[in-house]
Chain A
Amino acid sequence: NAGVTQTPKFRILKIGQSMTLQCAQDMNHNYMYWYRQDPGMGLKLIYYSVGAGITDKGEVPNGYNVSRSTTEDFPLRLELAAPSQTSVYFCASSYGSGRAIETQYFGPGTRLLVL
């Protein structure tokens, strides 16, 4: 198993550009998450999904969009990039079942610099 994979590893964007951060998992996890980590800070939840076709906002969703058309993939879309979106983005997944909480596994991250 590759686990959780993310592409690209690093990207530089100009202000106003758009891009899609890719995330995929091969563990058949139904729950998937996007977090951002600013320098010296903890992780903050951007969006999450509990299954294909079901997504919802997290703590810091402004400026982002997501979709979940398959169980495996959970891309994060940045529209009109701003310097405040400079961060490291982590995708995570877990097996969700009712009220059970399972371990979240993180991808290697995408480092984004907006200039």
Chain B
Amino acid sequence: GENVEQHPSTLSVQEGDSAVIKCTYSDSASNYFPWYKQELGKRPQLIIDIRSNVGEKKDQRIAVTLNKTAKHFSLHITETQPEDSAVYFCAATRSTSYGKLTFGQGTILTVHP
């Protein structure tokens, strides 16, 4: 089955800095990679996703890049703000897998004012 590794486990940045979180996956057939943000005591919420037919996707301050050859994808947050502080999860699945997501272990992002 799929295995997703996520690094770093914790990340501390100053407000305005950029943050990068990286995930690697094992199943070369995986073709959908979502990123979820989870605030303390809340549900995971999708912030951005990417499919294997594109290499990069942006949404305002958030971007995701995908390297299929190396089997890794990364979340980039620019101009970080204190409200970006949360746990971020990457996940992966393949289109023949009924959407079953395999999650990474999570990254605790802290943005200091």
Q: Does A74 contact B (CB under 8 A)?
A: no
A43 and B103 form a contact (CB under 8 A):
yes
Cα A90 to Cα B101 with chains together (Å) = 13
Can you name 21 A-B pairs with beta carbons within 8 Å? A41-B105, A41-B106, A42-B4, A42-B6, A42-B103, A42-B104, A43-B103, A44-B103, A45-B100, A48-B100, A58-B100, A59-B1, A90-B43, A96-B99, A99-B95, A99-B96, A101-B95, A103-B34, A106-B43, A106-B44, A108-B42
Q: Does A53 contact B (CB under 8 A)?
A: no
Q: Does A104 contact B (CB under 8 A)?
A: yes
Query: What is the interface of chain B, defined by CB distance below 8 A to chain A?
Result: 1, 4, 6, 31-32, 34, 42-46, 49, 51, 89, 93, 95-96, 98-106
Query: What is the interface of chain A, defined by CB distance below 8 A to chain B?
Result: 31, 33, 35, 40-45, 48, 50, 58-59, 90, 94, 96, 99-109
A94 and B103 form a contact (CB under 8 A):
no
Measured between beta carbons, the chain B residues less than 8 angstroms from A43 are 44, 89, 101, 103
Give 8 A-B pairs besides A42-B6, A45-B100 with Cβ atoms closer than 8 angstroms.
Answer: A31-B98, A59-B1, A90-B43, A101-B93, A103-B34, A104-B46, A106-B44, A108-B42
Residue among B1, B43, B89 with max Cβ neighbours from chain A (10 Å)? B43
Q: How far is the CB of B5 from chain A (nearest CB, A)?
A: 10
Cα A2 to Cα B104 with chains together (Å) = 28
Measured between beta carbons, the chain B residues less than 8 angstroms from A99 are 95-96
B99 and A101 form a contact (CB under 8 A):
yes
Cα A40 to Cα B6 with chains together (Å) = 13
Measured between beta carbons, the chain B residues less than 8 angstroms from A40 are 106
- Shortest Cβ distance from A58 into B: residue: B100
B98 and A50 form a contact (CB under 8 A):
yes
Measured between beta carbons, the chain B residues less than 8 angstroms from A94 are 99
Residue among B49, B100, B106 with max Cβ neighbours from chain A (10 Å)? B100
- Shortest Cβ distance from A59 into B: residue: B1
Contact A103 B46, CB 8 Å, known A40-B106, A42-B89, A59-B1: yes
